[in-house]
Amino acid sequence: MHNKPPTPASSILRAVRAPRGAILAASALACAALLSACGSSSSSSSSSTASTAAKTVNSSQVERSIEESVLSERHIHTTVVCPAAVPAIKGQTFECIATSHSTTNPPTESKTPFVVTVQNNSGYVTYVGK
């Protein structure tokens, strides 16, 4: 019998499977960032000012996205707090705080800051833990 050398496709497949955790983490972060892209606009009773009103980042959606990312990537339940009214200005950054509690005795509280960067004027954001 002849032993066949590995085909290029099988070696590529093995190379793709190797960083599976990194791919999963990047996918989760990308999904969370896309979900947090929902911006809201402030409105006014005057129609002339409503068209020029600045959009704000949907802070509650950013909080949920960070909580979901931490849970899916680190398997840690957190509560995230972000500033309430952040203008959706490209390049602007702000900080959210993720708080988690240990289950060991004595219980401890851990706070992790996340730097959130507004990517466009529609409220799309990305974030990274410090």
pLDDT, average across residues 19-26: 39
Residue 33 — pLDDT band, cuts 50, 70, 90?
Answer: very low
pLDDT, average across residues 66-85: 95
Tokens of 43: 């409105």
User: What is the Cα 106 distance to its own chain's centre?
Assistant: 31
Q: Does residue 2 sit within a domain?
A: no
The mean of the pLDDT values for the chain is: 73
Question: Which one-letter amino acid corresponds to residue 99?
Answer: T
Closest to 41 (Cα-Cα) out of 28, 51, 54: 54
Question: How many structural domains compose the chain?
Answer: 1
pLDDT, average across residues 10-25: 40
Residue 105 — pLDDT band, cuts 50, 70, 90?
Answer: confident
Q: Does residue 93 sit within a domain?
A: yes
Please report the pLDDT score of residue 104 as a whole number: 86
pTM exceeds 0.85: no
Please report the pLDDT score of residue 2 as a whole number: 56
Cα four-point dihedral sign 90, 95, 101, 104: positive
User: Residue 38: CB partners within 8 Å, gap ≥ 6?
Assistant: 58, 61, 123
**Host domain of residue 98:** 21-41+54-129
Higher pLDDT, 116 or 54: 116
Q: Does residue 80 sit within a domain?
A: yes
